[in-house]
Structure 1
Amino acid sequence: MKEVRVAYALIHNEKTQQILMVHNKKNDSWTLPGGLVEPGESLAEAAVREAKEETGLDVEVTTIVAVNEAKLQAINEHATFVTFKAKQLNDEILIQDTEKISEAAWKSYDEVDKVMTYHPGGIENLLGNGVPYVDEGVIHSVTKEE
């Protein structure tokens, strides 16, 4: 099986108690912004890049809130999914990757829980999680490189 790594950005609007999600054209599904980690890229860099491509937002990733794993037999892949809590640094949503993403929208916790069934305890539980992100021995957060 081919090993793949996927990074997601959990972008939370504390005032409205909503989560930013994207609609993927390929699967006709709603997910957090995220995607495959490219060669030479860290998990956090991938989450920042994918958030920008899929929502237009610049984000800063802080802590890791979930690590999931799946053996995708149908496509012969063993995937590791890492979800980062991310703080948005600007407000204008403008999808850059229109080939893959049809819409970005703020969703209520209930709406998120209906599509993210693989996280026991739901989105509110994830928001309460967090372990430091350590890259090459340094604990830090990551933003988009200028």
Structure 2
Amino acid sequence: MERVDVAYVLVFDENYENVLMVKNKGERSPYYTLPGGRVEYGETLEEAAIREVKEETGLDVELEGIFSISEAFFTEIEHHAIFFTFAGKIVGGELTITYPDEIEEIIWMDPSLAENRIHIPNELKGLINRKSTVPYLLRGYVANKS
């Protein structure tokens, strides 16, 4: 089973009322997610999150820490996916679908509906509104000490 790292960004609108979501064109049917995607080789989680938001929505974001980390096993495609979801805020850009072959729609969604789409379990409902994060620390390159 292949390990896949995925970076998402949770972004609220100016009034902290709605969450930015993208509607992906799925193989079987469309589905909503936070903007984000697979981390490329040699890329940090932070770099991937910022790049993916820009590619999918046209917006520039600044990350404010980790919102959640989760994982899942996708048996059909033999992937063990680790999902790193950052909290972020918009710092520039213009809302636009830059990959219409992948993204059907970009919308601002009510947080309670967004929670269902990003698979927050029932026992953690309301987590999306708590505004809590933990720091993300890039420790750089660490040499082995022999």
TM superposition score normalised by structure 1: 0.85
Aligned residue identity for 2:135: P
Structure 2 residues without counterparts, runs of 5 or longer:
141-146
Instruction: Judge conservation of contact 1:66–1:126 (CA < 8 Å) in 2.
Output: no
The residue number in structure 1 matching 2:59 is 57
Percent identity, aligned pairs only?
Answer: 40
Work out which of the residue numbers 90, 102, 105 in structure 2 matches 1:103. 105
Instruction: Judge conservation of contact 2:115–2:128 (CA < 8 Å) in 1.
Output: no
The residue number in structure 1 matching 2:83 is 81
The residue number in structure 1 matching 2:138 is 135
Structure richer in strand, relative to its length: 1
**Aligned-pair distance for 1:16?**
5.0
Instruction: Judge conservation of contact 2:23–2:33 (CA < 8 Å) in 1.
Output: yes
Instruction: Give the paired residue count.
Output: 136
Q: Does 1:45 align with 2:10?
A: no
Q: Does 1:5 align with 2:5?
A: yes
The residue number in structure 2 matching 1:144 is none
Deviation sequence 1:100-140 (CA, Å, 0-9, x none): 11110101123213323334423x41342210010016xxx
The residue number in structure 2 matching 1:142 is none
Structure 2 CA distance, aligned partners of 1:115 and 1:22?
A: 10
Instruction: Judge conservation of contact 1:25–1:100 (CA < 8 Å) in 2.
Output: yes
SS at 1:65 equivalent: strand
Structural RMSD (CA): 1.6
SS at 2:73 equivalent: strand
SS at 1:134 equivalent: coil
SS at 2:59 equivalent: coil
Structure showing greater Rg = 2
Structure 2 CA distance, aligned partners of 1:111 and 1:72?
A: 24
- Structure 1 residues 110, 126: closer, same or farther in 2, change over 3 A? closer
Instruction: Judge conservation of contact 1:6–1:37 (CA < 8 Å) in 2.
Output: yes
**Aligned-pair distance for 1:12?**
0.9
Structure 1 CA distance, aligned partners of 2:119 and 2:4?
A: 21
SS at 2:128 equivalent: helix
